[in-house]
Copies of this chain bind each other. A is one copy, B any other.
Amino acid sequence: MPAASDRILKPRKTPRQARSEATVEAIFDATIQVLLAEGAARLTTTRVAERAGVSVGTMYQYFPNKQALLHAVLKRHLDGLIDKVEKACRALAGETIAVISDGLVAAYLQAKMDSFDTARALYAVGAELDLGSLQAANSKRVGEAVMAVLTSALDVRFEDVRVVAFTLHVTVAGAVGAVLERGGSRARAKILASELPIMCRAYLTAVAKRK
């Protein structure tokens, strides 16, 4: 069900020639660069266009308004993250719960670390944007992927996989987000890398039933 907001968030026109695809790419990149270099408050359409090496008018050819641009950039980033997590989930299917747990945490952490700067830059954007649709879709996809691996565990089963998957996702995402996207240093990220696996394994073991 396309929300009303879709009408104003969808791209105005779709690129047909190679140069315009490059333009859109440049605009995406520029958005993140401006965000990183100047902060969310100074993220203006003009500045983005300038940095991308195109005119404002060009920007408006592909994005009906600033919000649509931000939405697109954010979606792009989130989709990338989700892909990685889903891939990890598929790779871990059928292993023991210990392996699955460690693998999931590692994948999530890795994915976030890979896009450290982008993630931090986009954090600020998320706030001033209606995240409803994106967030929901995101949660759903990740949630289902995690449920799937958990169910596939070789040695255990869960009373309520849905709840367990949700908890796992929210906890790891929340912790990583709190540390990386805000002021946290990479050093603190390392603490997470060593502690989160312990915590997740402990939790999963606590709520699992032997098969």
Contact = CB atoms under 8 A, between A and B. Distances in A.
A97 to B, nearest CB: 13
- Copies of chain A in the complex: 2
B191 A167 contact: yes
A195 B163 contact: yes
Contact of A175 (B175, B179, B198): B175
Nearest to A174: B174
A198 to B, nearest CB: 6
A170 interface: yes
Contact size range, A: 35 or more
Given A199-B167, A205-B202, A132 B192 contact: no
A206 to B, nearest CB: 4
Contact of A178 (B170, B182, B202): B170
Contact of A40 (B127, B170, B191, B206): B127
Contact of A174 (B123, B126, B177): B177
A15 B183 CA distance: 33
Contacts of A186: none
